[in-house]
């Protein structure tokens, strides 16, 4: 058996330890950023936005204001993801991806989806520790089941907390994944983000998300 010199073994151990410390520091700073920003959003925006949008949703169609869906979180842990309800309410509905001109989407829901406002309640998920502001988008567990074993690297996207917004979404990989390649492109962006994630990148993605909200996104339906 080949034995590495002690100096090499020690150097390798130090490098791995330094990398672990850097990752822990990054996770800590990211969590601090998430909590501060989500707290500000909850206090100054959600406090009046939820009642206002809630009234519009209830006026448009009967049913709850929030849509709560089981989604996959970090390390495959399932959590309850919050959204403003954008479709007609059906207690016994089965999972089906939204498509363009989907008859289930209400008038209010269409506006919320185009502007990404339907995702705003997920800042509560951030405060609860289930999500981050920026990260790979969490998918419904039914959608995960389609790709978990069949798409290489798919499950690796859950090595970090899922986000309200992500690199894939601001780069056009959002909406319905009709073809296998649609999801493959999304996963590639997620892997790139996980490797290069930083506070600066998160700030850029947040800014690009705001731009998309203002300009509109043809895949937001």
pLDDT mean values, one per 10 residues, the chain (221 residues):
40 44 67 96 97 96 94 95 94 80 89 93 98 96 93 94 96 84 94 94 95 74 55
Rounded to a whole number, what is the distance in angstroms from the first to the last CA of the chain?
Answer: 60
Q: Is residue 1 part of a domain?
A: no
210 Rama sector, left if φ>0, alpha if ψ -120 to 50, beta otherwise = alpha
Say how far apart CA 49 and CA 63 lie, in whole Å.
18
Q: Is residue 158 part of a domain?
A: yes
Q: Is residue 7 part of a domain?
A: no
Q: Which pLDDT value is given to residue 212?
A: 86
In the chain, how many domains are there?
Answer: 1
Q: Which pLDDT value is given to residue 67?
A: 95
By CB neighbour count within 10 A (0-12 exposed, 13-18 middle, 19+ buried), where does 1 fall? exposed
Q: What is the CA radius of gyration of the chain?
A: 20
- What values do phi and psi take at 82, rounded to 5? -95, 140
Q: Is residue 197 part of a domain?
A: yes
Q: Is residue 220 part of a domain?
A: no
Half-sphere exposure of 218 (CA within 13 A, CB side): 1
> Where in the sequence is the domain holding 37, given as residue range(s)?
28-215
Q: Is residue 5 part of a domain?
A: no
Q: Is residue 20 part of a domain?
A: no
Spell out the residues 6+ positions from residue 77 whose beta carbon is closer than 8 angstroms to its own.
none
Q: Is residue 9 part of a domain?
A: no
By CB neighbour count within 10 A (0-12 exposed, 13-18 middle, 19+ buried), where does 89 fall? middle
């Amino acid at each position: 058996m080949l034995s590495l010199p002690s100096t090499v073994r020690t150097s390798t151990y130090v490098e791995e330890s330094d990398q672990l410390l850097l990752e822990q520091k990054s996770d800590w700073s990211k969590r601090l950023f998430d909590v501060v920003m989500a707290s500000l959003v909850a206090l100054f925006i959600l406090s009046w936005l939820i009642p206002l949008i809630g009234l519009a949703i209830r006026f448009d169609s009967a049913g709850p204001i929030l849509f709560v869906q089981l989604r996959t979180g970090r390390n495959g842990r399932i959590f309850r993801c919050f959204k403003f309800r954008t479709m007609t309410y059906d207690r016994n509905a089965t999972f089906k991806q939204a498509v363009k001109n989907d008859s289930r989407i209400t008038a209010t829901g269409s506006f919320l989806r185009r502007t990404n406002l339907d995702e705003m309640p997920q800042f509560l998920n951030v405060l609860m520790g289930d999500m981050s502001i920026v990260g790979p988008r969490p998918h419904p567990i039914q959608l995960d089941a389609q790709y978990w074993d069949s798409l290489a690297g798919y499950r690796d996207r859950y090595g970090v907390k899922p986000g309200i917004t992500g690199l894939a979404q601001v780069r056009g990989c959002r909406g319905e994944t009709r073809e296998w390649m649609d999801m493959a492109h999304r996963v590639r962006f997620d892997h790139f983000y996980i490797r290069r994630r930083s506070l600066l990148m998160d700030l850029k993605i947040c800014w690009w998300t705001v731009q998309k909200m203002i300009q509109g996104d043809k895949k937001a339906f």
